[in-house]
Chain A
Amino acid sequence: MASDATERDAHPNTASDGHGAAATFGASRMDWPAGYLPKGSTPAGGGSGSPLAGPRRDPGGLGLAALRVGPALMLLVVVLAAGALSPVFFTTRNLGNVLSQTAVIAILALAQLLVIVTRGIDLSVGSTLALSAVAGALVFGSMESGPLVILAMLATGAVVGAVNGGVLVWGRLPHPFIMTLAMLSIARGLALWLSGGQPISGMPEVVQRIGGGSIGWFPYSAFLVVGLALMTLLLTRAMVWGRWIFAVGGNPDAARRAAIPVKGVVVSVYVISGLAAGIAAVVNAGRLNGGSPTFGELAELDAIAAVVIGGASFHGGRGHVGNALVGALMIGVIRNAMNLLDVNAFLQPIVIGVVIVLAVELDVVRGLLEERLRILQAARS
């Protein structure tokens, strides 16, 4: 897939370093974080009256660090409030419950994050989840093989994702909203059609265990979420492909000119999103021991809400894996707490909606503060 990219590693012309004493551009002195200095090199230029600062811990930096964990702090507040209001909340049984109920949203949110980072959106994941679950249930009906059932669910999701991404890119649709909105309808329709509109009960042992089993109170599905989160983290932080996802989201035009395979990157995030819907289908079908065409209704909105609560930007290029998980947990905890407190079920969507607006509002303020701090920091140095 990476055939567009040049196969060699480019190295900059770092040979001649003869202009060290020339006037610095922009800032009045150069000031690299300690970690960026070549190992063993002493800061040069001290004689020319522009000493390089050593490692620096100023209030601006601390402020930035505090801002970055904003969503996590919010979750902490919500969790503590839930614990204070309900004595049941902190029981291991309930915590396990929260985790297992959040697993589906969390899995979808991890993939939705990648989509949103590329300036896209995937509205089809809830329907894809249902289609995958139904496909898995149908396969189970004809052959009782756990691995095959799981494979059917994952493959169904990945194929739907590939169709989303493929039609979007090669059909040159103006916006992913359109393709995935259409797929929301198509996949749900397929799920209803294939299942005759009825839930199909029965799932292999292994699927039931993934969806409903636990080690002590810690559900398998939560382990799965942790594993997937670590993989997503590896992708976004350490792998070339992940960096391309962020580059494409930041400036698609520049990415094209930088010989990044933009189309491949865009298609890949929809495939990943579809695949995630397949994985979420395994969890959902396992927990309920069957596949139903009504699975995952509005799950896409939960996933998008989780990503947005986690501070990702619809303008692309910005988002954190950890914060998307935090967003998913926030939704899960709030729902759980309201159930424990016997809050009227009709009130719950209202509360979730208010939380979304609050979280994004906080993020807007956070963004403004961060910008201010960054500029202050740049100006001071």
Chain B
Amino acid sequence: MTAPSPPALSVRGAAKRFGAVVALDGVDIQVRRGEVLALLGDNGAGKSTLIKCVSGVHRLDAGTVEMDGVPVDLGSPADARALGIETVYQDLALFDNLDPAANFYAGREMTTPRWLPRGLRLVRRRAMAEATVVVLRRLAVGVADLTTPVGLMSGGQRQAVAVARAAAFATNVVILDEPTAALGVRESRHVLDLIARLRAEGLAIIVVSHAMDHVMEMADRAVVLRRGRAVGELVPRPENKEQIVSLIVGGNG
């Protein structure tokens, strides 16, 4: 475990409560570049809260977040984005009425001229469409027609567009919340391949998943959360599947 460089993302002592409910109670996690970290846990264990804090949707009550060893402030989704953290939410957060390029660039449009206030600038439609094609092609995501609103695409294609959007802009960390939950076997396969490709590109990846087989396959490391605490960390393998499950449900780990 000698570390030549600090991890891409490191969360220490994360605490968050909603009223009387303690969602996170001093959780530590770290992810390195080229590594897939699985966050496991039953419903209400704190996985979603943790990733929402890292993606800027919630603010931690206590604890620190460091990126490459430097403390950062994640006060809003825009902060997280600016730091190269991209999140693929379980609901995908796609704009069903817009085409893939518009989905990619919503809120960060390529614009001109720069001297105008941002909202009044003109969008560089063509440039955005071209860049979108390049990313989709790099990730081998096939979309039949780039003018099709994503609402008319299949579940797998929508998932792929959402993952590709995150991959396009993430320079450090990609967070995926249940990326295969709504997909069939074949479509899950593609998403797993896609995640492997992101890892190969050197991104640090955090995945929340209930699909134990998928976790075994894609994750280099797994952290198990229970009632807001990290109760175990291990390398998921078929041999220790039982151990993981008992950690999740709270048996004798």
Contact = CB atoms under 8 A, between A and B. Distances in A.
A23 B193 contact: yes
A13 B95 contact: no
A26 B156 contact: yes
Contact of B152 (A241, A254, A257, A371): A371
B142 A247 contact: no
B134 to A, nearest CB: 5
Contact of B81 (A6, A25, A243): A6
B109 interface: yes
Contacts of B77: 256-259
Interface stretch (B62-70, B100-108, B227-235): B100-108
B108 A10 contact: yes
B104 A12 contact: yes
Interface string B127-163: 0011111111111111111111000111011001000
A55 interface: no
Contacts of A253: 91, 93
B48 interface: no
Interface string A28-55: 1111110111100000110000000000
Given A239-B123, A251-B93, A9 B135 contact: no
Interface in B2-43: none
B190 interface: yes
Contact of B138 (A14, A23, A35): A14
Contacts of A244: 106-107, 119
A29 B137 CA distance: 10
A1 B117 CA distance: 8
Given A24-B142, A377-B144, A6 B108 contact: yes
Interface stretch (B166-174, B210-218, B244-252): B166-174
Contacts of B144: 26-27, 31, 377-381
B95 A38 contact: no
B76 A374 contact: no
Which of under 10, 10 to 19, 20 to 34, or 35 or more describes the interface residues of A? 35 or more
A25 B197 contact: no
A181 interface: no
Contacts of B241: none
Given A24-B142, A44-B137, A2 B156 contact: no
Nearest to B111: A240
Given A36-B129, A249-B97, A317-B96, A25 B138 contact: no
A243 B102 contact: yes
A342 interface: no
B73 to A, nearest CB: 15
B145 A381 contact: yes
Interface in B168-203: 168-171, 190, 193-194, 197, 201
Contacts of A17: 134, 137-138
A19 interface: yes
A81 B117 CA distance: 48
B195 to A, nearest CB: 12
10 contacts: A20-B140, A22-B140, A25-B141, A240-B121, A243-B109, A243-B123, A251-B95, A251-B96, A257-B57, A374-B145
Given A10-B81, A12-B104, A38-B134, 18 more contacts: A1-B117, A6-B107, A6-B108, A9-B108, A10-B105, A14-B135, A19-B139, A25-B194, A26-B157, A32-B146, A240-B111, A240-B119, A240-B122, A244-B107, A255-B95, A259-B77, A316-B97, A381-B145
- 6 nearest CB pairs, A to B: A258-B107, A317-B97, A24-B142, A12-B168, A254-B93, A259-B78
Interface of B: 57, 76-78, 81-82, 87, 89, 91, 93-98, 102, 104-111, 117-123, 125-126, 129-148, 152-154, 156-157, 160, 167-171, 190, 193-194, 197, 201
Interface of A: 1-2, 4-7, 9-14, 16-20, 22-33, 35-38, 44-45, 238-241, 243-244, 246-247, 249-251, 253-261, 264, 316-318, 371, 374-375, 377-381
